Amino acid sequence: MKPFDFDLEVRALRMAIRFSSHQRFISKKQVLGLIILVEQGLKDKSRETRLAVMNYLIGDEIRDALYVRFQSFKNMSGECATILIEYLKKPGDEWSLSENGKRLIACAEDRIKGISV
């Protein structure tokens, strides 16, 4: 198995989001599921950190697609949420974070904390 490359993973995630449709509305289940998944990977579980990490991972792609800054899990599309859920979750376990998902979120949090210090 190849080693985890954070920058490569982020680029792949952003590309998948960029080429997804942004027409279908996100469901309440998707919103709650994403929050659960992201929180599992964070050391600081605050809302501010959760939003900062998501902005770091996908902010530009969401802004380009929706013409808004990512300020809430509710302002993305259902397609984007599906991509994120599939990217982060453990296969076969709906709301458990995979090892790659943990690393992706943890690395993003470390970069956010490094940027904001």
pLDDT tens, 50-88? 999 998 898 777 777 766 667 788 888 899 899 999 999
In a domain, 19, yes or no: yes
- Whats the size of the chain, residue-wise? 117
Rounded to 5°, angle at Cα 45 from 39 and 51: 75
Output the pTM of the full model. 0.85
Average pLDDT, the chain: 88
Question: What is the model's pLDDT at position 74?
Answer: 86
Q: Which residues contact 79 (CB under 8 A, 6 or more apart)?
A: 20, 21, 22, 23, 24
Domain count across the chain: 1
Q: Is the pLDDT of residue 116 over 60?
A: no
Q: What tokens appear for 31 in the block?
A: 């919103």
In a domain, 59, yes or no: yes
How far, in whole angstroms, is CA 28 from its chain's centroid?
A: 16
Question: What is the model's pLDDT at position 67?
Answer: 62
In a domain, 78, yes or no: yes
Question: What is the model's pLDDT at position 117?
Answer: 43
Measured from the Cβ of residue 3, the count of other Cβ atoms closer than 10 Å reads: 4
* Domain span at 102: 6-116
In a domain, 110, yes or no: yes
In a domain, 48, yes or no: yes
In a domain, 1, yes or no: no
In a domain, 62, yes or no: yes
In a domain, 52, yes or no: yes
